[in-house]
Structure 1
């Protein structure tokens, strides 16, 4: 039995070790992939930016739409607007428009029970300069 235990420990140690020819993995210097642009639609629930959300967390942006040259709509999935809010962040460069969306509970409903229904939401965010040919990317 002792021999079996020693053999198993040896296999675990050998499996966890790295070989001498292993090269360290370098972090990627590539920018994040562009978020898909879609035509504007009317079936999403419009949210108003709320930087005062509670227990906010990063929420994936599914797509974006051009409202006008200086405004884009970010599309995401969250909870009902009666209980949940969004806080979009935009950082512009000459080549990209980096966007993120945090979602969380509204302060006035943070201590209340809310229904768990997924809502396809959208929030419009203004830009400092026109979109032009810049990519919209997640950050």
Structure 2
């Protein structure tokens, strides 16, 4: 992942209890970057990362949420707008960008 803009989540790969979250919107930032929008939890409790699968016609982006190390025992059940900047290997070039499915493991 490239450096996120102010407000983008920083991708983390040290998450516990990981599971997929739905994202609602994507925006092409450059030939090799896409920003996805989703509802996130308390940043003191939860972190995010993305998995990308590319084909000649589609870019499948799966966003995963999990508990970060040293998160408080009790985390508030809040929802807040969040974004994650995702790098793609090949230029977006008009390919369809779709949410991935899975269990986040």
- Structure with bigger strand share is 2
TM-score (norm 2): 0.83
2:86 is matched with which residue: 125, 136, 139? Answer: 125
Where does the alignment leave 5 or more consecutive residues of structure 1 unmatched? 1-41
Which 4+ residue blocks in structure 1 deviate beyond 4 angstroms?
A: none
Rg larger in structure: 1
Residues 12-31 of structure 1: pairs in structure 2 closer than 5 A? none
Summarize deviations over 1:17-67 as a string: whole Å, max 9, x none: xxxxxxxxxxxxxxxxxxxxxxxxx9x942111121111111011111111
CA distance in 1, matches of 2:47, 2:19: 11
Partner residue, 1:3: none
Aligned residues: 96
Instruction: Structure 2: give runs of 5+ residues left out of the alignment.
Output: 101-105
Of 69, 73, 77, which aligns to 2:31? 69
Higher percent of residues as helix: 1
Q: Which has the higher contact order (CA 8 A, sep 6+)?
A: 2
Residue number among 37, 52, 59 corresponding to 1:90 in the alignment: 52
